[in-house]
Structures are given as structure tokens and as C-alpha cells.
Amino acid sequence: MSNTTKPADGMLMVDTHAHIWLKGMPLMANPRHKLDYDFSVEQYLKVLDDHGVQFAVIAAASPFGDYNDYTINSVRANPRLRGTVILEPNVDQYQLAQMNRDGIVGVRLPFINMVTLPDLTTFEYRRTLRRYADLDWHVHLHLDGPRIPQVLPALEASGVKIVIDHFGRPDPALGVNCEGFKMMLRAIEKGRTWVKVSAAYRLGEELGAIYGRELLRQVGPDRLLWASDCPFAGFEGKFAFQQTIDAVLAWAPQGVARHNIFGGNALKLYFSQ
């Protein structure tokens, strides 16, 4: 795919999913990716500037567990950034209130790493999800599509806003007929769920285009969020930032739909608080 294709000059762009870290940060046991290099907030901001991206949301990187210090410090210091964090379900409301003041807008659930998914109907999870909802935060779910039905009903019942990563990661053998993808579509129609049209480089760009067009056909552009997934953990050096833009330009029609997907939706969701 050409790396010279760019959105129209002056187009609003919000990268809704990228990671930052320093190599000295503590890693969890058996992390999904062993990140032994720096990708600092300063490096990331330069990438944004080079590609005309005005705002961004830092997603907590799962290898660091609930060590959110660098993310929080980075978004607190820069009004063009917001962040999500990884938290245990026993976090108290005072910690959450402070993080809210610091520019944190949601909690990432990297459940894709788990063999056994947590029971979100327990008191601990219901209490904590209610606290997120009270702050008008979202939960940011990263899970393979076949298992989305195991947790999405409980998340919807909690009243919290939901953002689903990477097209919902459908089973590639089933594609848009994956039950998780179909449940995700129904959730979007209820008005409290968004989907990141991101990481097509992980799923396959042809599949990403199929999923993107189906999302547009079924639910329209108003709940779709472009994201880069920069700096491509596990795929370092194989993809360029511009490719993540081009992958969506390939199927997103010009006009209002493209404006909303690349920035308009995200500005309302992440920066209106």
C-alpha cells in the first residue's frame, strides 16, 4: 500500500490507540510482548506531528500490568493527550478521581491475555464498573471475537461505555459471521459502544477492509474510531504509521464518514470531558 496517501490537509485526526513506554519499566511475569526498547511520549508526539495528527489516546500496554505511572504522567503534562489505564477491580474511588483529573478517561481490559476470563458479575467487578460509569469513563476491551459474548452482556448491563479494540478481532474463519462480531454490532446499535478500526496489520489488511465495510453497512460511521496501534509491538520495523491511515482510507468514504472515523467521533468521546 502506498505510503504517500494522506487525508485531506487540515482534516481532524485523533489516534485513539497507541502505546508508550521506557525499557526500564517493570514487566509482568510472562508478558505478551517483551519490550526492551524505549518508545517515549516525546518520540510518539513527533510521529503525530509528522503525520498531521492533532490528538491521541495512550492505551496502557498490557506487559506492564497496573504500572500506569508513565502513562499518567505523560497525559497529565500534555492537553493533546488522554489515556487509559489497567487496574485491579479493587481500586478505590479516590484513586479514580485523581486519575480523572490527570486526563485518564477509561480502563483497559486486556482480557486477550487470559486463559480464563474473570466473572464480571461479582460484586467487586460490578462495584468497580459502576465507579467507571459514574466518572463517565469507558472500558476498553481487548479480546478475541469468539469470546466477546462471554463478557459483553455483563459490560452492557453495568451501564459503562464500551470501546472494543481492533474490529472485535473476529475469528478469521468466520469473519463477519463470528458471533462476537455480530454481538458487537448489536451493542453499537444500543448507543454505548464504539469500535476501533485498528490493527489491520495484525488481522490482515484485506480482512480489515471487509470488517470496516461491514461495520459501515450495518451501523454507519458514527461509532467507529481510527487508531494506529503504534509502535506495533511484536511487529516492529514491519509497518509504517502511514499504513495505518491508508488501511482505513481504502474503505472509508470521503466526506462526513471519513471525518467522523478519523477524528470527529474520538474528539467527542475522549476530549469532551
Question: For the segment 169-201, what is each residue's pLDDT rounded down to a tens digit?
Answer: 999 999 999 999 999 999 999 999 999 999 999
Nearest to 213 by CA among 239, 181, 183, 240: 181
Measured between alpha carbons, how far is 190 from 252 in angstroms, rounded to an integer?
Answer: 23
Q: Which residues of 156-170 are buried (b: 16+ CB within 10 A; e: fewer)?
A: bebebbbbbbbbbbb
pLDDT per position as a tens digit, 29-63: 887 777 889 999 999 999 999 999 999 999 999 99
In the predicted structure, residue 143 carries a pLDDT above the cut 60 = yes
Q: Burial of 99 by CB count in 10 Å (0-12 exposed, 13-18 middle, 19+ buried)?
A: buried
The predicted pLDDT at position 191 comes to 95
Report, as an integer, the average pLDDT of 89-96. Answer: 95
Instruction: Map out the domains of the chain with their CATH numbers.
Output: 14-271 (3.20.20.140)
Task: Tell the residue number behind the cell numbers 463477519, with chain if given.
Answer: 176
Q: Specify the DSSP class assigned to residue 84.
A: E
pLDDT per position as a tens digit, 200-233: 999 999 999 999 999 999 999 999 999 999 999 8
Nearest to 180 by CA among 111, 122, 252: 111
Q: Model confidence at 1, in pLDDT bands (50, 70, 90)?
A: very low
* Length reported for the chain: 273
The predicted pLDDT at position 8 comes to 53
Beta strand pairing status for 104-109 and 81-85? Answer: parallel
Q: Which helix (H) or strand (E) holds 254?
A: none
Rounded to the nearest integer, the mean pLDDT of the chain is 94
The predicted pLDDT at position 236 comes to 86
pLDDT per position as a tens digit, 111-135: 998 999 999 999 999 999 999 999 9
